Structure 1
């Protein structure tokens, strides 16, 4: 499993023009269960995603298609981890 952080590298006025396309991209990934959770960082300097287990190379390919990355207004940071404990109702996330 992965935690992906998104960091804006451009002013919000530039990021905002790509927000609709980015939102559609996220919705498509969630519908295909290639992304489990997505949200904004507070304060609004980027976002955070929770990604299910997959080969790291596949995740890299997916992230490269993010409209924010394609249009050079954000970067991604990726942390891989093994979920060992989970709250009730989220047990399916554990290894």
Structure 2
């Protein structure tokens, strides 16, 4: 499982100009089963996405396709973690404890 932390690198006006394309990209990733949750940080200086994929390289490839990245309005930080305890709804993504 992965935590993708977005940090805005441009003004909110610049971010908002790309927001519709970013939301469409998010919708695609939800439809593919990659993204489990997402939203804005508070204060609004970026966002957070919880995602699943076969490996880090695939997640980085997906993040590189974000219209925010193409527009140069955000930077990503990707953290991989083993979800050894989850809510029941996330049980399919649970990993065995070591």
TM range (shorter): over 0.9
Q: What is the Cα deviation at residue 90 of structure 1?
A: 2.5
- Output the aligned Cα RMSD: 1.0
5+ residue gaps in structure 2? none
Q: TM-score, normalised by structure 1?
A: 0.94
Counting only pairs closer than 5 Å after superposition, residues 75-90 of structure 1 correspond to structure 2 as: 75-90=75-90
Counting only pairs closer than 5 Å after superposition, residues 2-13 of structure 1 correspond to structure 2 as: 2-13=2-13
SS at match of 1:28: helix
Runs of 4+ in 1 over 2 A off after TM superposition: 87-90
5+ residue gaps in structure 1? none
Q: TM-score, normalised by structure 2?
A: 0.91
Counting only pairs closer than 5 Å after superposition, residues 23-42 of structure 1 correspond to structure 2 as: 23-42=23-42
Q: 2: CA distance between counterparts of 1:61 and 1:68?
A: 14
What is the number of equivalent residue pairs in this alignment? 95
